[in-house]
Amino acid sequence: MVPNKTVGPSHYLTFLGIELDTVEQEARLPSDKLSKCIELIQEFLRRKKVTLREIQSLCGLLNFACQVVLPGRAFLRRLYEITKTLRKPHHTVKLTRGCKDDLLVWKSFLEHFNGKCFFIDERMVSNDVFQLYTDASGTYGYGAVFGKSWFYGEWNEQWLSQNITVKELFPIVLAIEVWGNQMANRSICFNCDNEALVHVLNKQSSTEKM
């Protein structure tokens, strides 16, 4: 056996670049990769322009991190988008405000959510099981019911002009924010009557600004 690839009895080890912890029941980024991701993001946030090679390097690193930073994939699209006009590795492009906003979200994910439960129940649970229902109206407002709990609200003037797809997304996001701790480590099937939103949620990406 190769000494540097042999590990004795331990409750955690690094395998294929991911740290597996049997006590915490988590797979997470090792501290060196975590630090590298955060440092690279901080460097990008300080800069106005970057090269195609640098963006590809960052995207490759963050794409790898998506294995354990589950929400991260949705915040890579704008980084990929700005590379479409670049042809050579040394060509540069301006980092847009949107790209930097996404990098700030990534920084937050890495600092606070670097890890996922080993045993996430991958069976899709219908929202009927949780008695969880959300809906939105284009004109009036939004609401959600979770068992005996509920919330509702009216759109302000700023939200009235939003696309109905965004409005349908809002109560779903708010429901997860309010009751997410009761849904942890479950795969939940949300029923939604907006086909565009279903596509966005399943793909975890959208070409439209929200």
pLDDT digits (tens, 9 = 90+) for 169-204: 999 999 989 988 887 777 777 778 888 888 888 777
What is the rounded distance in angstroms from the CA atom of residue 129 to the CA atom of residue 97? 41
Question: What is the bridge-based pairing of β-strands 186-189 and 121-126?
Answer: parallel
List C-alpha distances in Å: 173 to 143, 167, 179. 11, 10, 10
Instruction: Give the sign of the dihedral formed by CA 78, CA 84, CA 86, CA 88.
Output: positive
Q: Is 70 exceeded by the pLDDT of residue 125? A: no
Q: Where are the beta strands (DSSP E) in 87-127?
A: 92-94, 116-117, 121-126
Residue 122 confidence (pLDDT): 63
Across the beta sheet with 18-21, the strand order is: 12-15, 18-21, 26-28, 116-117
Residue 207 confidence (pLDDT): 66
Contact 138, 53 (CB under 8 A): no
Residue 14 confidence (pLDDT): 82
The better pLDDT of the pair 109, 184 is held by 109
The better pLDDT of the pair 209, 112 is held by 112
Residue 199 confidence (pLDDT): 85
Give the DSSP H or E segment for 125.
strand 121-126
Q: How would you label 149-161 residue by residue, b for 16+ Cβ within 10 Å and e otherwise?
A: eeeeeebeeeeee
Q: What is the CA radius of gyration of the chain?
A: 20
pLDDT digits (tens, 9 = 90+) for 47-101: 999 999 999 999 999 999 998 888 888 899 899 989 988 899 999 999 999 999 9
The partner residues of 187 in beta bridges, in order of sequence, read 124
Could you give all domains of the chain from N- to C-terminal order, each with its CATH number? 26-113 (3.30.70), 130-203 (3.10.20)
What is the rounded distance in angstroms from the CA atom of residue 210 to the CA atom of residue 205? 11
pLDDT above 70 coverage of the chain, percent: 87
Residue 182 confidence (pLDDT): 83
Tell me phi and psi for residue 40, to 5 degrees: -65, -40
Determine the average pLDDT of the residues in 111-130.
69
Question: What is the bridge-based pairing of β-strands 149-154 and 141-146?
Answer: antiparallel
The better pLDDT of the pair 24, 175 is held by 175
Residue 121 confidence (pLDDT): 63
Q: Tokens in use for 160? A: 């009235």
Residue 97 makes CB contacts below 8 A (sequence gap 6+) with none
Q: Is 20 exposed, middle or buried (0-12, 13-18, 19+ CB in 10 A)?
A: middle
pLDDT band at 127 (very low <50, low <70, confident <90, very high): low
Q: Is 60 exceeded by the pLDDT of residue 143? A: yes
pLDDT above 90 coverage of the chain, percent: 40
Q: Is 60 exceeded by the pLDDT of residue 210? A: no
Calculate the average pLDDT of the chain: 85
Q: Tokens in use for 18? A: 């991911």
pTM for the full model? Answer: 0.72
